Structure 1
Amino acid sequence: MAEETQGAGLTPFGKIISLVLILGLLGAGAYIIINKYASPDSADNGTKKIVKPDTEAPDTGNITTVKEYKYIPADRLPAVKGNANYKWDADKKIVKFSYNVWSGWLPVIMANRGTKPNTDSIFYKKYGFQVEMVLMDDPVIARDAFASGNVHTLWGTMDMMVLFAPELMKDSRTAPRIVQQIDWSNGGDGIVVR
């Protein structure tokens, strides 16, 4: 036997809801049109005033509302005073690179052929040094390791660098210099789902 197919369509309740919505939209449209084109003497004997809304704020003086940029020609980081606690072996040439758990580091790990220093690394083949990637998820621990010279790089987003800078600037040997932007997510990393 052939099965009967149930017809696609609205249930009685769906038809009622649709009718109410359509009538409501038609009523709202009619109300807007009637009020827009109604003569002032028809409903309120001419007492109703049409107020035109302001489209912009009044000009308070200057042409621009932003703070003007002031150019400072040669503002640089202070000179380094003293020797850093930078731990470097000139024979092994291993750069200790701190990183956190984030998928954006994958290209660096791939170029290094893992997280351990090795001679198969692109860094070694092209530039003559090896990279040891040191996992540091805690930004305070990473900052302190950088300041003490235990790692040679410091990871962080731009907002984190602003937080790191005051403490690192206390000692000119650890004054931060941002030399590479690894990723430009344009806010994609800021999405939080609940």
Structure 2
Amino acid sequence: MANDIVYDFLKNHVRPYNVNDIIGNLPKEISKSAVQKALDYLVKKEKIFDKTYGKQKIYCFKQDNKKDVYELMRIDRELESHAQELTNRLQHLEKEVKCREEVLEKLKSTPSLKEVTRLRDESRVRTEALEKKIHDLTELNKGQDLSQNKINADKLLDKYSRDCAKRKRLCTDILDAIMEGYPGTKKELYNDIGIEMKK
């Protein structure tokens, strides 16, 4: 029974162990002498091998290297297929992560619900104020044709704009004529006359 337990342990943990390591990993019911006898028996049957390093013996499971070549090729193909499948799955997951990160960035750049609610409330207050102003103006101008007033105001604005442009042109011509005989700069002339330049 100890033989099978020790053999199974070494087979399942394919790495070198000394006696103390094996005993430490096995159930407490198996004694050190039983483990040592099992190891000696398995070495004799060539199921495991041992090597001596100084005063210590190391035991390791003997792997079977006589596998069929076709079986190894089949296993290799299966592993490659599995690796390709995992690679494809990884690429798919990476694309999905990238898409979700883009969505997250868009969500981060949009205003939060709290902010949108605040903006909506501010807009509502502004709209109500403008509606009240329109209502007050409408009440104030009851019975008047405001469209005719607008047309008249537009005509006057157009007339005054043309008159202003004519006067500006005349003034510029006069100033240019004065500048021909003036010893200073245009800025100095404007200061002397008292003309304020528009910025």
TM range (shorter): under 0.3
Between 1 and 2, higher relative CO (CA 8 Å, sep ≥ 6) is seen in 1
TM-score (norm 1): 0.21
- Higher alpha-carbon Rg: 2
